[in-house]
Amino acid sequence: MKRFEGYGVLITGAARGIGAATARRLADEGARVLLTDIDGPAAEAAAADIPGAEALVCDVGDLAQVDAAVAHAVERFGGLDVLVNNAFASAPDTDIAEDDIDTLWRRDLDITLMGAVRCARAALPHLAATGGRGAIVNIGSVNAEADFGNHAYSAAKAGLASLTRTLAGDAAARGVRVNQINPGTIRTGNWDGREDLLDALADQLYPLGRIGEPDDIAAAVAFLASRDASWITGTVLRVDGGLLAVNKGFAAINRDG
């Protein structure tokens, strides 16, 4: 039997990249998946390539749309077993002294952090009704742990890690696990036209010698969402090719010097 046979799954920001790869992976393992995204046509296109998947427009900044998306998943799937909070906003990196806090910071925090809060709030009663298999997996970033720029986005992802820990404690009594994945650089459409930069990053920063792929993160989500991780909650899992564990530049200087 496949690990997610009979499961209902909702993924935010699922039209492309990590979200779409996660939808494919969980569907391949038996889940029925609702791909939600603010870009409706792109979500529809992604869902069309995944047997049994559905798509729905959802802006995680809008509580009514979040509630409607969760209700839709519950109605279509007969319940909701897994929530994957993948939607985010990331403003262009700027000098913090020149940031327009009321636009750049507010949007990054509202979508990346508060969007996950809205989704968890709506989903928790249904996840708790699954007999112990309910799970939330938040998609964070190595930006939550070290300086890679993008002040507002990084702060939002760090807040998401804190939310993961506190929500794990609250949800445990209801039989729901909450975990987070912090990816390193992942080859998505955001990097189109900058492949040379990706190659340079892989060579200079990543001990495993390559940039991550969306499927790398999807595999980690599948593990944390499954009963294989039934005794794991409140954990932030780095899936970063060794980026934060090894200072590759320093190691090279130390070795050659």
Instruction: List the catalytic residues.
Output: 153, 157
| Contacts for 204-210: CB closer than 8 Å, 24+ residues apart | 204/248, 204/249, 205/243, 205/248, 205/249, 206/241, 206/242, 206/243, 206/248, 207/241, 207/242, 207/243, 207/245, 207/246, 207/248, 208/241, 208/242, 209/241, 210/241
CB neighbour burial string for 15-49, b if at least 16 within 10 angstroms, e if fewer: bbbbbbbbbbbbbebebbbbbbbbeeebbbebbee
Tokens of 215: 């499927």
